[in-house]
Amino acid sequence: VSEKKKAWAIFTNSANQIFTPILVDELAKKYAQTNKNEKVKQLTSLSSKLAMLLHPDQIIPMDSINKIALMHNENQYVGFAEKVEAFKKGNNSEIKELIDMVSPRAKKIESIFSNELENLDKIRANRVVDKLLLQIGRTKLKAKELNELTK
């Protein structure tokens, strides 16, 4: 069995299971073994995005902007996921307020998928956290760029 098939099996065999952060890192490693010329950094981000597509209620994708928001300098999804959980706990009331704000409109859209997707509340919450991290990361990046321009 090829390494690509083994990597894909991580997703397909766990499609109905809890998808842990360790599996995201495992997929990135397996894929890196089959594509020696690609950077593992890109593979971890890609792996987290693939995992999010299969398990949007369990995975928040890791990308360079979200990493900036969380001050996560490693290329390991496990550490990223731990920081996401700490962020959620530390900002619980603000996140809940944002979720409450978007829920009425989101529920209208989600009603289309209610028979196809489970855990829509959890998916919505994860998407809100992802977008919040994206905004925080962009703000930090802009501040850094402005700081460098004024040097």
Give the pLDDT confidence score for residue 26 in this predicted structure: 83
Estimate the crossing angle of helix 21-34 against helix 77-90, to 10 degrees: 150
Report d(CA 114, CA 4) in Å as an integer.
33
Neighbours of 48 (CB within 10 A): 24
Give the pLDDT confidence score for residue 3 in this predicted structure: 55
Q: Which mean pLDDT values do the consecutive 10-residue runs of the chain (151 residues) have?
A: 53 57 82 67 83 89 95 93 96 96 92 85 95 96 86 73
DSSP 2: -
> Which residues, in sequence order, are CB contacts of 84 under 8 Å at separation 6+?
60, 70, 129, 133
Give the pLDDT confidence score for residue 149 in this predicted structure: 82
Give the pLDDT confidence score for residue 10 in this predicted structure: 52
Report d(CA 124, CA 117) in Å as an integer.
12
Give the pLDDT confidence score for residue 13 in this predicted structure: 54
Give the pLDDT confidence score for residue 43 in this predicted structure: 83
Give the pLDDT confidence score for residue 19 in this predicted structure: 67
Report d(CA 90, CA 97) in Å as an integer.
14
